[in-house]
Amino acid sequence: MKTHEKRVLRSDLWIDAAFDERLGRESDVSVEVFPVRGNPAAAWAMLSGAHVYHVSAAKDELPTEWIAGAELLARCPQLLCVSSSGAGYDTVDVPACTAAGVAVVNQAGGNAPSVAEHTLGLMLGVSHRMVESDRRMRREQGFTREDVMGHEIRGKTLGLVGIGHTGSRVAALAQAFGMEVIATDPLLTPEEVARRGARAVSLPELLAQSDIVSLHCPRDASTLRLMNAATFARMKKGALFISTARGGIHDESALAEALSSGHLAGAGLDVWDQEPPPLDHPLLAMDKVFATFHTAGVTHEARRNVAAIGAEQIALLLTGGRPPRLVNPEVWPAYEQRRAQILR
């Protein structure tokens, strides 16, 4: 008979079965599921005794009361770790967790192959004007093939803003298509950027030289509205903009203006300020915009991989190990002290 001493809590939002299957192999770990809607008393009762909270990374799917911030942490004295269900952690207040001695982990890289493929799909769809052709075929006749004539990506310069797990995979795919790849990443040396498949440049150089700019950076205080009216204006006339990063890194109004003025030729967008965006969003009215619903990392393979990685990290952490994807490493001394007290 199992003795359940360590309690992992997740919501009833969809997650691949690999998460529960992996933690089910731990003899002293229980996984409980709380309802995000309809029974807050039951949810709080479970949260108050949890050691690990595996929180949905989808900010527009999770009711705000379940975001891992100071208020929730105050009501969860046993909590040792907040685990994001994805690479992003928009639903976690990392400074508040650090102040409370709570470790934060994410699943960075778990969905990188899927996001990289999706990025190339957006690039090809916009460059070849596939979406425009598809839409026009469904609503009209009489236009010529030359009316929707696009461009090859071969020989073009791709600028990557961020070259981490996903960006480096995009670089490899782009090179296979015969593209020149440049990148800017403040966390990496030029030598490391080169090792990952790109030539290191500054952001102004990247904007001026790229035929396609693709975002692969995290959303934080340094990147919020990084792409705005001024930065879009610095891009080449006729260039394309792609983002599979996070909503808020690009200014949607500024992008709509850059597209409607003709300065930019098209955009492929998987991320939005509000997800999904309202039906009357100006960008959705433009045929030159290829729009998807934050699905770049939502494939069967990626979801299973991310769930498995998340469970593996939690199992490691609960047995005294240090997880490889620790978002707030500075918390570790305080975390270890609390863990010794709570899991005596």
pLDDT score recorded for residue 121 = 98
pLDDT score recorded for residue 59 = 83
List the structure tokens of 99.
């102040």
pLDDT score recorded for residue 60 = 84
Residue type (1 letter), 166: T
3-state DSSP assignment of residue 277: coil
pLDDT score recorded for residue 249 = 97
Say how many residues make up the chain.
Answer: 344
Judged by phi (left if over 0) then psi (alpha if -120 to 50, else beta), residue 133 lies in alpha
pLDDT score recorded for residue 1 = 35
| Residue found by looking up tokens 């089910």 in the block | 24
pLDDT score recorded for residue 341 = 94
List the structure tokens of 120.
């190339």
pLDDT score recorded for residue 4 = 58
Whether 235 and 209 have beta carbons less than 8 Å apart is answered as no
CATH code of the region 6-110+300-342: 3.40.50.720
Q: Which residues contact 11 (CB under 8 A, 6 or more apart)?
A: 33, 34, 35, 36, 55, 56, 62, 66
pLDDT score recorded for residue 295 = 95
Active-site residue, from 275, 281, 304, 325: 275
d(CA 212, CA 235): 9
Task: Please check whether the two domains, 6-110+300-342 and 112-291, share a CATH topology.
Answer: yes
Which mean pLDDT values do the consecutive 10-residue runs of the chain (344 residues) have?
A: 76 96 95 94 94 92 93 96 93 96 96 97 97 93 95 98 97 98 97 98 98 95 95 98 96 98 98 95 97 95 97 96 96 96 90
Active-site residue, from 216, 294, 303, 339: 294
The CATH H-level superfamily of 112-291 is NAD(P)-binding Rossmann-like Domain (3.40.50.720)
Active site residue 257: no
Nearest to 8 by CA among 35, 30, 39: 30
List the structure tokens of 239.
């260039």
Active-site residue, from 7, 54, 129, 246: 246
Active site residue 252: no
Helix (H), strand (E) at residue 79:
none
Active site residue 246: yes
pLDDT score recorded for residue 277 = 95
Give the domain ranges of the chain.
6-110+300-342, 112-291
